Amino acid sequence: MPLFPLPNVVLFPQMPMPLHIFEGRYCKMVADVLSAQRVIGMVLLQPGWEAAYKGRPAVYAIGCAGRVEQCEPLDDGRFNIVLRGLSRFRIVQEHGGEPYRMASVEPLADAVSDPDRLEEARRRLLQAIGRASDGPALLVTQPELPHELFVNALSQSLNLAPVEKQSLLDCDGIDARYERLLEILDFRQLEDTYGRRGDKNVH
């Protein structure tokens, strides 16, 4: 699978992701996948990537495969594309042979969760979002969404740090993703109440 490593993008299953492709090696990647399986593996670069960006800086082992749903080729060789998340994967081994990165991967399925536990987790998450001043109101008013779609949409759309989103993608089940998202939101609430780390208001 071709890998597309970025420092600030984490794709989740079933979610759309618009991307502007302008770097030469990744323009070739898009052109190649359009004539094949149309699948790209999105992975997050680990901190410290800047010094080795033109090479192969370290990435997190777990990513999300996305299918190219829409593609707009531009006159200068660039592309505007929309990926739709398919499934999580773990990198097994990287391979050479292309200017872009390629890897063998293993798919990762989310563990089966207890329906009652999921409903309780959704209820608690809705309460946490309701306490946040910048909560995504549109999603909150759609409680009929399936649990996977609901929590993945929140995980991708909330204003979280890339490493926080990666920690959500790493979760092996929907209930675990709910719990991790609740931890993040509860911590943000504490920061809003008592100040951020390093603030003079924190004792």
Asked if 90 contacts 108 with a C-beta cutoff of 8 angstroms, the reply is: yes
More confident residue, 123 or 66: 66
Q: Which domains does the chain have, with CATH numbers?
A: 2-108 (2.30.130.40), 115-194 (no CATH)
More confident residue, 169 or 37: 169
More confident residue, 19 or 126: 19
Give mean pLDDT, residues 133-150. Answer: 67
Asked whether residue 199 carries a pLDDT value surpassing 60, the answer given is no
Q: What angle do CA 52, 54, 60 make, to 5 degrees?
A: 60
What CA–CA distance (Å, rounded) separates 113 from 107?
18
> pTM for the full model?
0.86
Give mean pLDDT, residues 22-46. Answer: 95
Q: For all residues of the chain together, what is the average pLDDT?
A: 87
What CA–CA distance (Å, rounded) separates 103 from 33?
14
What CA–CA distance (Å, rounded) separates 81 from 75?
14
What CA–CA distance (Å, rounded) separates 188 from 159?
11
What is the reported pLDDT for 127? 85
Q: What angle do CA 162, 166, 169 make, to 5 degrees?
A: 140
What is the reported pLDDT for 200? 43
158 Ramachandran zone, left/alpha/beta (phi>0; psi -120 to 50):
beta
DSSP 41-107: EEEEBPTTGGGGTTS---B-SEEEEEEEEEEEE-TTS-EEEEEEEEEEEEEEEEE-SSSSEEEEEEE
Question: 3 pLDDT band (50/70/90 cuts)?
Answer: very high
